[in-house]
C-alpha cells in the first residue's frame, strides 16, 4: 500500500492531522493499535483553548462542539478558604475556553474521517517504522485480520502518544529527552452529578491541590493531588468526596460540593517532558509523543492541536511547491509554543500543589504568588492569556 502521509496513532493529534491534510487534498492513512470504541471512550482532560475551538469550527468540526460545549469566561483560584475569579473575557479582549471532553473531540474526528472516506485502521499490531532518513520511509504492521502489511509513504507522522513506538525508533543520540517528574499524581473522578460551580475551581489547600471541573450540566469531573504510588483501593468513593469537600471548603462555609455516583476513577502520574528536535529525517513527532505537560493548565490536547496545525501547513507547502522550508522549520516552530506551555503548566503546578519537602520559606513564596496573581491586573492577565491560549504562530 502507498500513501502520502503515514500517521501512527488515532488520538486527537493523528486524527486531526489526517483531517487537516484531507482538506488540502493530501492523502493519509492512520494506523491505530486500539479499537475504535476504546479510543472513543478514553477519558482525558476537557478544556479547549479559544484558538483550538476556532480551528475546529473553521475546519467543519464545530457542530456538536458549539451545541454541547460549555463556554467559560473565567476560572476561580481558591486558597486560604477564599475564592478569586480570574476574568478571561475582561483580561484578554473577550477570549474564552470551552469545556468539551477530549473523547468527544475524538468521536467527532473519527466520524468526520469515516464520513470523508478516510483510512483509519484500528486494531493493527506490530507497528514499526523504517527508512526514516531516506525519502521513501515505510511503516510495517499487522492488520486487524492478521495479515502483515507495508505502507510506503513520503512522510511519517508519529502521533502515537508518550508510550508509542515512533520516538524510540529514532537512532540513539539523535534526540534529546528533557524531563521533570513531580512528587505527586492526580486522582481523577467522573461523576453523575451536576457541577457545583459555573466555572472551574483550582484550589490550593494545606491538604494539597483539588480541582473542580465538569463535562456537562449533568456530569462533574474532580481531581485530588495524591502521592504518586496511590492505589485506588485505598480511596473508596466516600473518602474521595470528603477529601474534595475538605480541601475546597470556604471560610464562610459557603461551598457544598454535590456528590453522586462515579462513572470513572483513575490515578495519573505527572511529568513535564520535551523531545528536541521533534523531527528525525522524514519522521515528524506531534502531540504526546513529543511532549507531556502536567495537567494543571489543561494544555495537553491544545498543544497537540497546535503541532498538527503547523505540520499540516508545512506539508501543504511541501506538496504544492516542493519546498521543504516549512518542514525544516517544523520543530523550531512547535518548540517555541511547547516551551511557553511548559513554563505555564509548571508554574500553575508549582503555585497550586503541596510539595512533600515544602518548608515555610517555599510556603511563603507560594502564598505570595497566589495573592499577587489574584490582585495584580498584570499577573492575572498573564494567567488569563496563557490559559485561553496564546495566538498560533
Ligand atoms: N501503534 C499504533 N498506535 C499506537 C501505538 C502503536 N505502536 N502506540 C500508541 N498508539 C496510539 C494510542 O492507542 C493512542 O490512540 O496512539 C494514540 C496516541 O493518542 P494520545 O495518547 O491521545 O496522544 P495525542 O493524540 O498526542 O493527544 C494528546 O491526549 O494524552 C492526551 O494529554 C494528552 O490531551 C493530550 C492529548
Ligand atoms: C478536566 O476537566 O479534565 C480538566 C480541567 C482542567 C485541568 C485539567 C483537567 O487543568
> How many residues does the structure list for the chain?
393
pLDDT tens-digit series, residues 73-130: 999 999 999 999 999 999 999 999 999 999 999 999 999 999 999 999 999 999 999 9
In DSSP notation, 288-328 reads: GGTEE--GGG--HHHHHHHHHHHHHHHHHHHHHH---HHHH
Same fold for the pair 5-72+98-179+271-349 and 182-269+356-388: no
Q: Which pLDDT score is estimated for 214?
A: 97
Q: Which pLDDT score is estimated for 16?
A: 98
Measured in Å, residue 307 CA sits from the centre of ligand 1 at 14
User: Which residue lies with its CA nearest to atom 8 of ligand 2?
Assistant: 298
In the numeric block, the cell 486531526 is attached to: 16
The answer to whether the CB of 12 is under 6 A from ligand 2 is no
Measured in Å, residue 188 CA sits from the centre of ligand 2 at 9
Measured in Å, residue 348 CA sits from the centre of ligand 2 at 12
User: How many CB atoms sit inside 10 A of residue 340's CB?
Assistant: 14
pLDDT tens-digit series, residues 153-201: 999 999 999 999 999 999 999 999 999 999 999 999 999 999 999 999 9
Residues 6+ apart with CB under 8 A from 375: none
Question: Catalytic pick from 72, 212, 291, 353?
Answer: 72
The answer to whether the CB of 296 is under 6 A from ligand 2 is yes
Q: Which ligand is nearest to the CA of 99?
A: 2
The answer to whether the CB of 142 is under 6 A from ligand 1 is no
Residues 6+ apart with CB under 8 A from 191: 219, 220, 221, 222, 259, 260, 261, 262, 263
Atom index in ligand 1 nearest the CA of residue 141 equals 1
The answer to whether the CB of 45 is under 6 A from ligand 1 is yes
The answer to whether the CB of 275 is under 6 A from ligand 2 is no
Which of these, 13, 5, 11, 8, lies nearest to 306 by C-alpha position?
13
pLDDT tens-digit series, residues 260-285: 999 999 999 999 999 999 999 999 99
3-state SS, residue 381: helix
Q: Which pLDDT score is estimated for 205?
A: 97
Residue 393 has pLDDT above 90, yes or no: no
The answer to whether the CB of 212 is under 6 A from ligand 2 is no
Which of 47, 189, 196 has most ligand 2 atoms within 8 Å of its beta carbon, as the pocket-test mutant? 47
The answer to whether the CB of 373 is under 6 A from ligand 1 is no
Does the predicted model carry a pTM greater than 0.85? yes
223-250 mean pLDDT: 98
Instruction: Answer yes or no: CATH 3.40.50.300 is held by domain 5-72+98-179+271-349.
Output: no
Whether 88 contacts 72, CB under 8 Å: yes
Helix (H), strand (E) at residue 97: strand 97-99
Residue 358 has pLDDT above 90, yes or no: no
Assigned CATH for 182-269+356-388: 3.30.9.10
Which of 223, 266, 346, 351 has most ligand 2 atoms within 8 Å of its beta carbon, as the pocket-test mutant? 223
* Cα–Cα dist 49/99, whole Å: 9
* Cα–Cα dist 153/146, whole Å: 22
Residues 6+ apart with CB under 8 A from 143: 121, 124, 149
Active site residue 38: no
Beginning with the edge strand found earlier in the chain, give each strand of the sheet holding 138-142 in spatial order. 125-130, 138-142, 148-152
Cell numbers found for residue 131: 527508512
Active site residue 299: yes
Which of these, 111, 118, 102, 125, lies nearest to 41 by C-alpha position?
102
Cell numbers found for residue 291: 511532549
Active site residue 261: no
Active site residue 198: no
Whether 236 contacts 189, CB under 8 Å: no
Q: Which pLDDT score is estimated for 357?
A: 86
Cell numbers found for residue 154: 513520503
Question: Catalytic pick from 182, 202, 223, 330?
Answer: 202
Whether 143 contacts 155, CB under 8 Å: no
Alpha helices in 24-122 (DSSP H): 36-41, 50-58, 63-68, 88-91, 102-115
The answer to whether the CB of 287 is under 6 A from ligand 1 is yes
Measured in Å, residue 226 CA sits from the centre of ligand 2 at 16
Q: Which ligand is nearest to the CA of 222?
A: 2
The answer to whether the CB of 298 is under 6 A from ligand 2 is yes
Q: Which pLDDT score is estimated for 287?
A: 98
Task: Name the percent of the chain in helix, strand, coil, to the closest 5.
Answer: 40, 30, 35
In the numeric block, the cell 516549512 is attached to: 326
In the numeric block, the cell 493523528 is attached to: 14
pLDDT tens-digit series, residues 194-214: 999 999 999 999 999 999 999
In DSSP notation, 154-212 reads: SEEEE-S-TT-STGGGSPTTSSEEEEEEEEEEEEEEEESS--SSSS-EEEEETTEEEEE
Active site residue 202: yes
Measured in Å, residue 368 CA sits from the centre of ligand 2 at 24
331-349 mean pLDDT: 98
Report the b/e string of 257-273 with b at 16+ CB within 10 A. bebeeeeeeebbebebb
Which of these, 300, 267, 88, lies nearest to 184 by C-alpha position?
267
The answer to whether the CB of 45 is under 6 A from ligand 2 is yes
Question: Catalytic pick from 212, 291, 299, 353?
Answer: 299
Where in the chain are the domains? 5-72+98-179+271-349, 182-269+356-388
pLDDT tens-digit series, residues 43-69: 899 999 999 999 999 999 999 999 999
Amino acid at each position: 500500500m502507498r500513501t502520502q502521509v503515514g500517521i501512527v496513532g488515532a488520538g486527537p493529534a493523528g486524527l486531526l492531522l489526517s483531517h487537516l491534510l484531507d482538506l488540502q487534498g493530501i492523502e493519509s492513512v492512520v494506523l491505530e493499535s486500539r479499537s475504535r470504541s476504546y479510543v472513543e471512550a478514553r477519558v482525558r482532560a476537557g478544556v479547549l483553548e479559544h484558538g483550538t475551538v476556532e480551528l475546529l469550527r473553521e475546519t467543519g468540526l464545530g457542530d456538536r462542539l458549539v451545541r454541547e460545549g460549555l463556554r467559560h469566561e473565567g476560572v476561580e483560584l481558591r486558597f486560604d478558604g477564599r475564592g478569586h475569579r480570574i476574568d478571561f473575557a475582561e483580561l484578554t479582549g473577550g477570549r474564552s475556553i470551552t469545556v468539551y471532553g477530549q473523547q468527544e473531540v475524538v468521536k467527532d474526528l473519527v466520524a468526520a474521517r469515516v464520513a470523508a472516506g478516510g483510512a483509519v485502521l484500528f486494531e493493527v499490531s506490530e507497528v514499526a517504522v523504517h527508512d526514516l532518513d531516506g525519502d521513501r520511509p515505510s511503516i510495517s504492521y499487522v492488520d486487524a485480520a492478521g495479515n502483515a502489511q507495508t505502507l510506503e509513504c513520503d512522510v511519517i507522522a508519529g502521533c502515537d502518544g508518550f508510550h508509542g513506538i515512533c520516538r524510540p525508533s529514532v537512532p540513539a543520540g539523535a534526540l534529546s529527552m528533557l524531563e521533570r517528574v513531580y512528587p505527586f499524581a492526580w486522582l481523577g473522578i467522573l461523576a453523575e452529578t451536576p457541577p457545583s460551580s459555573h466555572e472551574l475551581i483550582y484550589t490550593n489547600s494545606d491538604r494539597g491541590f483539588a480541582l473542580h471541573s465538569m463535562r456537562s450540566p449533568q456530569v462533574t469531573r474532580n481531581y485530588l493531588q495524591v502521592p504518586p504510588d496511590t492505589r485506588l483501593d485505598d480511596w473508596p468513593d466516600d473518602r474521595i468526596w470528603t477529601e474534595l469537600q475538605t480541601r475546597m471548603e470556604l471560610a464562610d462555609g459557603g461551598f457544598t460540593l454535590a456528590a453522586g455516583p462515579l462513572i470513572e476513577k483513575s490515578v495519573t502520574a505527572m511529568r513535564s517532558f520535551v523531545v528536541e528536535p521533534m523531527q528525525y529525517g522524514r519522521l515528524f513527532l506531534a502531540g504526546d509523543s513529543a511532549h507531556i505537560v502536567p495537567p494543571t493548565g489543561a494544555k495537553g490536547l491544545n498543544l497537540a492541536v497546535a503541532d498538527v496545525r503547523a505540520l499540516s501547513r508545512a506539508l501543504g507547502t511541501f506538496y504544492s511547491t516542493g519546498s521543504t522550508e516549512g518542514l525544516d522549520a517544523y520543530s523550531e516552530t512547535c518548540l517555541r509554543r511547547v516551551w511557553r506551555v511548559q513554563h505555564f503548566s509548571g508554574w500553575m503546578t508549582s503555585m497550586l500543589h503541596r510539595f512533600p519537602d515544602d518548608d515555610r520559606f517555599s510556603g511563603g513564596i507560594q502564598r505570595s504568588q497566589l495573592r499577587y496573581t489574584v490582585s495584580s491586573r498584570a499577573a492575572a492577565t498573564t494567567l488569563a492569556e496563557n490559559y485561553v491560549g496564546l495566538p498560533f504562530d
